[in-house]
Amino acid sequence: MGYLVLARKWRPQTFDDMTGQEHVVRTVANAIKMDRVAHAYLFCGPRGVGKTTAARLLAKALNCIHGPTATPCGVCQACTEIAASTSVDVAEIDGASNNGVENVREIRENAKYLPQRDRHKIYIIDEVHMLSGAAFNALLKTLEEPPGHVKFIFATTEPHKLPDTILSRCQRHDFRRIPAERMLTRLKQIAAEEKAGLSDAALALIVRQAEGGMRDALSLLDQVMSACGPAASDAAVAEALGAIDRTVVQQMAAALVRRDAKALLESVEDVFMRGSDLRRLAEELALELRHVLVTRATGKPPGELAEVEQKMVVELAREADPAQLARLFDVVHGSVWDVGRAAQPRLALEMALLKAIQLAPTASIPELLTRVEKLLGTGAAPDARAAARPGGTPGGRPAPQPFRP
Ligand SMILES: Nc1ncnc2c1ncn2[C@@H]1O[C@H](COP(=O)(O)OP(=O)(O)OP(=O)(O)O)[C@@H](O)[C@H]1O
Ligand SMILES: [Mg+2]
Ligand SMILES: [Zn+2]
């Protein structure tokens, strides 16, 4: 067999194997167990999150020789043919290229006849929102009362383009983006089986780029493995993805907290020379500061980060002050738009970072006050001590109240 891209090779073959989407899988599996399968399903959601996969699984569940069952065997003729999309009783139709009324008429005619071998005749229509208005109309009657042996499964990324008449005749299930943590677990497992030799941090970078789409994640993994070969360094992976090396981003976040202007400018130069997008760098940096702030606020690093990254974030959170972090975040996040528009993005980013260092307080005001009090307590003049306490100055006048956000 020729080379199969990872996304196809690792298409889940059982409901249990689906990552995320438990809310859909549970309902569908229950319906099968209780023999309450609807005659038309609509699977909606972003691309590459399992709609077609789930449609095929449902077809297998209905037509498996041991079925209907929520755990199709995967080896009978019906199961293997559905997995390979060659089953005579399961038609996979691309709605984008078969969108005319004549295509629907054909389905309608065909649906009248009993299945050739299996229990059900199943029509899976992908990108169903592409059907023409006339095609939808032609479908209505059959969709309302299809023959007992017929099931429809529609999939679409754009359910808002479907007429209400169609929506109201289907049982709708919304697929979600796959949570980063879950995706990372799945990716680790696949990378191990494929002997990809990538670090957790590199896989986490892929997860971030994929933005919740499993197909995108697997395509990126493919891309990285062919570009870098086995056992690639994190920096090489970042380069292959056109992403910014996470280590650099983390070093920069640390440099911001430590007010290390030299290290910051060097990093900006480094990223600039590699030809990476500086706006992206600003975004990543803002995100990193967000992670540190969240860790500081909740006492727990975000789960979507790889373990090494979590460690670094925790360390930085321990080191930094919340007020300082919030301010750093503000300035860096605010610079993203400017850097994107600037005639000289590098200049804009450098200035923003230097400003961030200058503006961010080392500590919050109450903390500073305590420190001053402590200093005063150990040998400062009594007048000054009175001045430092809120509510009193040497002359007896009330001191201005410190600003509390
Ligand atoms: N929930 C998931 N769990 C595990 N793998 C998944 C999941 N969703 C997608 N995949 C992987 O991505 C590939 C593509 O998934 P699928 O074809 O089901 O996406 P889709 O939602 O139909 O996308 P599109 O809208 O682009 O048609 C699968 O072969 C599988 O490898
Ligand atoms: Mg699909
Ligand atoms: Zn089977």
Four-residue CA torsion sign, 126, 127, 133, 136: positive
Q: What is the pLDDT of residues 16-69, one digit of tens each?
A: 999 999 999 999 999 999 999 999 999 999 999 999 999 999 999 999 999 899
Tell me the CATH number of domain 180-240, given options 1.10.8.60, 1.10.1060.10, 1.10.645.10, 3.40.50.300.
Answer: 1.10.8.60
| Closest ligand relative to 178 C-alpha | 1
- Ligand 1 pocket mutation pick from 53, 92, 188 by most atoms within 8 angstroms of CB: 53
What letter would DSSP give residue 14?
S
Residue with CA at minimum distance from ligand 1 atom 7: 50
- Each residue's pLDDT tens digit, 110-144: 999 999 999 999 999 999 999 999 999 999 989 99
Q: Which CATH architecture has domain 246-359?
A: Up-down Bundle (1.20)
Pairing state between β 121-126 and 90-94: parallel
What confidence tier does 362 reach under pLDDT thresholds 50, 70, 90? low
pLDDT in tens, 239-288: 888 778 888 999 999 999 999 999 999 999 999 988 888 999 999 999 99
Indicate the average pLDDT of the chain: 88
CB 115 within 8 A of CB 89: yes
Contacts of 121 (CB under 8 A, 6+ apart): 89, 90, 91, 110, 111, 113, 114, 115, 149, 150, 151
CB-ligand 1 contact for 296 (6 Å cutoff): no
Whole-number pLDDT of residue 16: 94
Q: Is the pLDDT of residue 393 over 60?
A: no
User: Which residue owns the Cα nearest ligand 1 atom 23?
Assistant: 48
pLDDT of the residue at 387: 45
Res 305: pLDDT: 82
What pLDDT is attached to residue 67? Answer: 81
Q: What is the pLDDT of residue 374?
A: 80
Note whether 392 and 386 are within 8 A (CB). Answer: yes
Compute the CA torsion angle 374, 377, 380, 381 (nearest 10 deg): 130
Quick one: pLDDT band at residue 294, thresholds 50, 70, 90? Answer: very high
Strands 90-94 and 171-174: unpaired
- At 369 the pLDDT is 74
Report whether residue 11 contacts ligand 1, using a CB cutoff of 6 Å. yes
- Tally of CA atoms within 13 A in the half-sphere of 193 that contains its CB: 10
The domain segmentation of the chain, as residue ranges, is 6-174, 180-240, 246-359, 364-394
> Mean pLDDT throughout 191-196?
92
Q: Is the CB of residue 47 less than 8 Å from the CB of residue 213?
A: yes
Domains 6-174 and 246-359 in one fold:
no
**Which of 31-40, 183-192, 301-310, 364-373 is least confident?**
364-373
Atom of ligand 1 nearest to the CA of 178: 1
50 lines ligand 1 (CB under 6 A): yes
pLDDT at 364 exceeding the cut of 70: no
Choose which residue among 11, 19, 47, 92 to substitute to test ligand 1 binding: the one with the highest number of ligand atoms within 8 A of its C-beta.
11
Read off the pLDDT of each residue in 188-200 and give the average, rounded to a whole number: 93
CATH of domain 6-174: 3.40.50.300
- Give the separation between CA 322 and CA 339, rounded to whole angstroms: 25
Q: Using N-to-C axis directions, what is the helix angle for 278-298 and 261-273, rounded to 10°?
A: 130
The answer, yes or no, to whether the previous bond of 68 is cis (omega within 30 of 0) is yes
* pLDDT computed for residue 1 by the predictor: 55
pLDDT at 384: 45
Q: What would the mean pLDDT of 352-365 be, rounded to a whole number? A: 80
Q: What is the pLDDT of residue 143?
A: 92
pLDDT at 363 over 70: no
Ligand 1 atom 25: residue of nearest CA: 47
Q: What is the pLDDT of residues 81-118, one digit of tens each?
A: 999 999 999 999 999 999 999 999 999 999 999 999 99
Q: Is the pLDDT of residue 236 over 60?
A: yes
225 touches 194 (CB < 8 A): yes
Distance from C-alpha of 357 to C-alpha of 145, rounded to nearest angstrom: 68
Ligand 1 pocket check for 10: Cβ under 6 Å = yes
Q: Mean pLDDT over residues 218-230, rounded?
A: 90
For residue 218, pLDDT beyond 70: yes
> Among the residues of 150-260, which ranges form H helices?
164-167, 180-193, 200-210, 214-228, 234-240, 246-257
Sheet architecture: strand order including 121-126? 90-94, 121-126, 150-156, 40-44, 171-174
CB neighbour list of residue 172: distance below 8 Å, 6 or more residues apart: 41, 42, 44, 159
How many Cβ atoms sit within 10 Å of the Cβ of residue 199? 16
Under DSSP, is residue 81 helix (H, G, I), strand (E, B) or coil?
helix
20 lines ligand 1 (CB under 6 A): yes
Task: Look at the alpha carbons of 233, 239, 242, 243 in this order and tell me if their dihedral is positive or negative.
Answer: positive
| 212 CB near ligand 1 (under 6 Å) | no
Q: Is the pLDDT of residue 400 over 50?
A: no
Question: Which ligand 1 atom sits closest to the C-alpha of 21?
Answer: 1
Which of residues 348 and 303 earns the better pLDDT score?
348
When pLDDT is averaged across residues 321-328 and rounded to a whole number, the result is: 91
Q: Encoding tokens for residue 66?
A: 């041991």
Q: Which candidate, 295, 352, 297, 301, places its Cα nearest to that of 328?
A: 352
Ligand 3 center to 151 CA (angstroms): 18
Instruction: List the Cα angle 385/391/394 in 5-degree steps.
Output: 45
Tell which wins on pLDDT, 384 or 264. 264
Which one of 183, 214, 222 would you pick to mutate in the ligand 1 pocket, going by the greatest count of ligand atoms within 8 A of its CB?
A: 214
The percentage of residues in the chain with a pLDDT greater than 70, rounded to a whole number, is 90
Give tens-digit pLDDT for 159-186. 999 999 999 999 999 999 999 999 999 9
How many angstroms is it from 54 CA to the middle of ligand 1? 8
Query: What's the distance, CA 267 to chain centroid?
Result: 27
Average pLDDT, stretch 312-341?
93
The Å distance, Cα 215 to ligand 1 centre, comes to 5
CA of 67 to the centre of ligand 3 (A): 7
- Ligand nearest the Cα of residue 187 is 1
Name the strand (E) or helix (H) holding 143.
Answer: helix 133-144
Pairing assessment for the beta strands 150-156 and 121-126 based on DSSP bridges = parallel
Q: Is 95 in the pocket of ligand 1 (CB under 6 A)?
A: no
Residue 300, ligand 1, Cβ within 6 A = no
Cα 290 to averaged position of ligand 1 atoms, centre (Å): 30
